[in-house]
Amino acid sequence: MTTIAPVAFRRTVELTIDGRAVTAREGATVLEACRAAGVEIPTLCYLETLTPVNVCRVCVVEVEGGRALVPACSRPVAAGMVVRTDSDRVRTSRRMVLELLASSVDLSTAAGDVHRWIGEYGARPERHGPSAPAAPTRPHAGHHAEPEVGSAATVVQPVKRDNNLYVRDYAKCILCYKCVEACGEDAQNTFAIAVAGRGFDAHISTELDVALPESACVYCGNCIGVCPTGALMFVTEHDLRATGDWDEDRQAVTRTVCPYCGVGCNLEVHVQDDRIVKVTSPLDHDVTSGNLCVKGRFGFAYVEASG
């Protein structure tokens, strides 16, 4: 007798996105349904390899019958849901998020999409006035010193350069929590960094704010790999940018397998002028999901030494 193996059927739900009937997998998020339908939703704190933390709210959409806008990156679809991704309310909310971030954080090295969204949503960070001078000391938790009238308070602070591998420039940090997630239970399970402080004083910190070499950090660089603004950056990239020599048009990216052990992690080696300037890892690779260890991420000096 022939036995026929049971076929696993996936349940689906019907919903409407911007007036269009679509079908999505049960349990999918509104973001996934929108992407499958070709509708772009901006995201900052979301990454497909990390648990959604819902902190940036730039992905909000309007759901008919709902009082508040909902974050598309974490809200599951439901049968009969009517979603609007481009209403006035949605656009105003996204514009406000982008405008407040761009007025208080240095987004100069943020991904290109962020600059495109700022333009597309009509965010005008300049209307908050020029940046106020950096606060000499951090405010007490819960207290935000008033900026000068007509100027925008910012999170500007000196670049932290306390090791040879990567710098932390928290003047560029939008507090998306991605680095914390990658360092914690979503990937590395090292928990070297977390969010400290409250309100405008909230910031990413090592335990007791110690320098990185004194912290639990193992230099996997997985936090660098997920940072959307360039707040965390290879020393090589940081120094080339400082001298005006960083040029992605002159860079070649080669995908290869890490030579150090048998796990098979995939590397993307970025080379400019015959020099490796940084190493990333593809998010969609089933071995690494974008993550590496210190050897794969930073152990490339021998290539130049032996070249």
Residues that bind ligand FES (CB under 6 A): 43-46, 54-59, 71, 73
Please give the Cα distance from 89 to 283 (Å, whole number). 33
Q: Which of ligand FES, ligand SF4, none binds 183 (CB below 5-8 Å, type-dependent)?
A: ligand SF4
Please give the Cα distance from 19 to 258 (Å, whole number). 47
Q: Which of ligand FES, ligand SF4, none binds 30 (CB below 5-8 Å, type-dependent)?
A: none
Nearest approach, Cβ of residue 103 and ligand SF4 (Å) = 16
Q: Using CB atoms within 10 Å of the CB of residue 243, give its burial: 0 to 12 exposed, 13 to 18 middle, 19+ buried.
A: exposed
Q: Which of ligand FES, ligand SF4, none binds 225 (CB below 5-8 Å, type-dependent)?
A: none
Tokens found for residue 69: 């806008």
Nearest approach, Cβ of residue 197 and ligand FES (Å) = 20
Q: Is 49 in the site for ligand SF4 (CB under 6 A)?
A: no
Q: Which of ligand SF4, ligand FES, none binds 44 (CB below 5-8 Å, type-dependent)?
A: ligand FES
Query: Nearer Cβ to ligand FES, position 56 or 123?
Result: 56
Q: Which of ligand SF4, ligand FES, none binds 223 (CB below 5-8 Å, type-dependent)?
A: ligand SF4
Residue 133 DSSP code: P
Q: Which of 229, 113, 225, 227 is nearest to 178 (CA)?
A: 227
Quick check: 61 and 90 in contact, CB under 8 A? yes
Quick check: 140 and 210 in contact, CB under 8 A? no
- Residue 145: what residue type? A
Q: Which of 232, 276, 279, 292 binds ligand SF4 (CB under 6 A)?
A: 232
Q: Is 288 in the site for ligand SF4 (CB under 6 A)?
A: no
- How crowded is the C-beta side of 203, counted as CA atoms within 13 Å? 23
Q: Which of 47, 50, 56, 193 binds ligand SF4 (CB under 6 A)?
A: 193
Q: Which of ligand FES, ligand SF4, none binds 229 (CB below 5-8 Å, type-dependent)?
A: ligand SF4
Nearest approach, Cβ of residue 83 and ligand FES (Å) = 14
Q: Is 279 helix (H, G, I), strand (E, B) or coil?
A: strand
Nearest approach, Cβ of residue 115 and ligand FES (Å) = 17
Q: Which of 295, 258, 300 is nearest to 277 (CA)?
A: 300
Q: Is 176 in the site for ligand SF4 (CB under 6 A)?
A: yes
Question: Which of left, alpha, beta for 18 (phi over 0: left; psi -120 to 50: alpha)?
Answer: left
Q: Which residues of 4-31 are buried (b: 16+ CB within 10 A; e: fewer)?
A: eeeeeeeeebebebeeeebebeeebbbb
- How crowded is the C-beta side of 44, counted as CA atoms within 13 Å? 24
Q: Is 110 in the site for ligand SF4 (CB under 6 A)?
A: no
Q: Calculate the CA dihedral of residues 84, 86, 90, 92 and round it to 10 degrees.
A: -160
Q: Is 200 in the site for ligand SF4 (CB under 6 A)?
A: no
Query: Nearer Cβ to ligand FES, position 31 or 265?
Result: 31
Nearest approach, Cβ of residue 59 and ligand FES (Å) = 3
Nearest approach, Cβ of residue 109 and ligand SF4 (Å) = 11
First to last CA, the chain: 64
Q: Which stretch binds ligand SF4 (CB under 6 A): 77-85, 139-147, 215-223, 234-242?
A: 215-223
Q: Which of 43, 103, 104, 229 binds ligand SF4 (CB under 6 A)?
A: 229
Residues making contact with ligand SF4 (CB under 6 A) = 173-179, 182-183, 188, 190, 192-193, 204, 217-223, 226-229, 231-232
